[in-house]
Structure 1
Amino acid sequence: MRNAEATKERILEAAMEEFSSYGIAGARVDRIARNAGCNKNMIYVYFENKDTLFATVLQKNLTRVYEENAFTPEDLPGYATRVFDFAMTNPDLFRLLAWYSLEQKSGSVAERAAAQEKKRNELLNAQQAGLIGATFTPGFLLTAIMTLATAWTAINPYGPSYDPEGAKNLSETRDAIAKAVQLIADYGKSAAK
């Protein structure tokens, strides 16, 4: 059984590299099998088809993101900087997410949708408790935070091109993101009380 698990893990690692480089449509099962050091048929035995393999790779990596970056509605700047740090050190995952968004072939990843809904609810509760401003909807806040936190990734057309120094001075950019998120979170805070 250990060999089977090791083979699956090698397939998932090779698939992550392949999908983040080429997307779903451009990925080749032959290359994944070759890079995983296994027979192409093993991919179909374990994962059924290329779309299922992609969904499995995406789910596995999103689970890792959720485990490593706890959402903290009471400390949105801290959350934003953790996401920023993660995004800057995991460019392959953000390329994978970009391909997922562009291709939309594998359907919705249930855990991702559930995590987003949970975050929106936690933001609403924080707004109702007066911890953060209520000017912006929870969905808008979450979008703004994630956009700021991931703006300097290589896949983003704006951060690196509008502010090339931001990618060179990560510490300053990280601090600026924290300040911006704090301002957004505090906006309208007195009105919420």
Structure 2
Amino acid sequence: MEEFSSYGIAGARVDRIAKKANCNKNMIYIYFENKETLFTTVLQNNLQRVYEEITFTPDDLPGYAVRVFDFAIANPGLYRLLAWYSLEQNTVNLAERTLVQQKKITELMNAQRSGLIGSTFTPGFLLTAIMVLATAWTPINPFGPSYEPNALKMPAETREAVFQAVSLLAKA
């Protein structure tokens, strides 16, 4: 995680990974075949943690956003890893991530149809806006930390602002 979140796929070195893991570099290649598969495994394992620890709740989108906010602040390495994935995604296929995203969008669509949440925004736009708001203050985000550098010095207030913003979005 540390190597890939610091350097991405292209910059990561299996030599350094082997040394930090105190194992043989050749064994890593035997087990994972290549660096891309190792990266994918690391990212998928960490995303699995997200799926298990943060329950998506279309009936409580502000609560979901706050849980994502708390997780993002507590796990900056994962968000760096996701940034590298976004930059280098042509080499990595994360089918499970796509399925999880589609499931969330379907749940939002159903919540809109039932009147549980507003329908001003498409489910994809709404989910994107929620994720952007919830992760805006991670170190890799070019906007949150630069526009409001003191936000993380007052995490309760920032968490509440995320909650309120998503509350408004969910009603629209």
TM normalised by structure 2 equals 0.98
Q: Distance in 1 between matches of 2:34 and 2:131?
A: 31
Residue of structure 2 equivalent to 1:113: 98
| Distance 1:103-1:44 versus aligned 2 partners, 3 A rule | same
Alignment pair present for 1:55 and 2:40: yes
Equivalences, count: 172
Q: Distance in 2 between matches of 1:137 and 1:43?
A: 43
- Structure 2: gaps of 5 or more residues: none
List per-residue Cα deviations over 1:122-141 (Å, max 9, x = no partner): 00000001000001000000
**One of 67, 81, 106 as aligned partner of 1:82:** 67
Q: Distance in 2 between matches of 1:140 and 1:179?
A: 18
Contact 1:54 1:106 in 2 (8 A): no
Contact 1:52 1:106 in 2 (8 A): no
The ranges of structure 1 where at least 4 consecutive aligned residues each deviate by more than 4 angstroms after the TM superposition are none
Report the residue type matching 1:120 in the other structure. Answer: I
Question: How far did 1:105 drift?
Answer: 3.8
**One of 6, 22, 33 as aligned partner of 2:7:** 22
Contact 2:36 2:92 in 1 (8 A): no
Question: How far did 1:152 drift?
Answer: 0.3
List per-residue Cα deviations over 1:13-33 (Å, max 9, x = no partner): xxx110001000000000000
Q: Distance in 1 between matches of 2:90 and 2:122?
A: 29
Identity %, equivalent residues: 72
Question: How far did 1:45 drift?
Answer: 1.2
Alignment pair present for 1:170 and 2:170: no
Q: Distance in 2 between matches of 1:34 and 1:84?
A: 33
Q: Distance in 2 between matches of 1:105 and 1:142?
A: 23
List per-residue Cα deviations over 1:98-146 (Å, max 9, x = no partner): 0000111433301100000000000000000100000100000000000
Matches within 5 A, 1:41-190: 41-187=26-172
- Structure 1: gaps of 5 or more residues: 1-15, 188-193
What is the SS of the residue equivalent to 1:70?
coil
Larger Rg: 1
Q: Distance in 2 between matches of 1:108 and 1:119?
A: 19
List per-residue Cα deviations over 1:59-103 (Å, max 9, x = no partner): 111111000000000000000000000000000000000000011
Q: Distance in 2 between matches of 1:174 and 1:132?
A: 21
Cα RMSD over matched residues? 0.7
Report the residue type matching 1:153 in the other structure. Answer: T
Contact 1:77 1:178 in 2 (8 A): yes
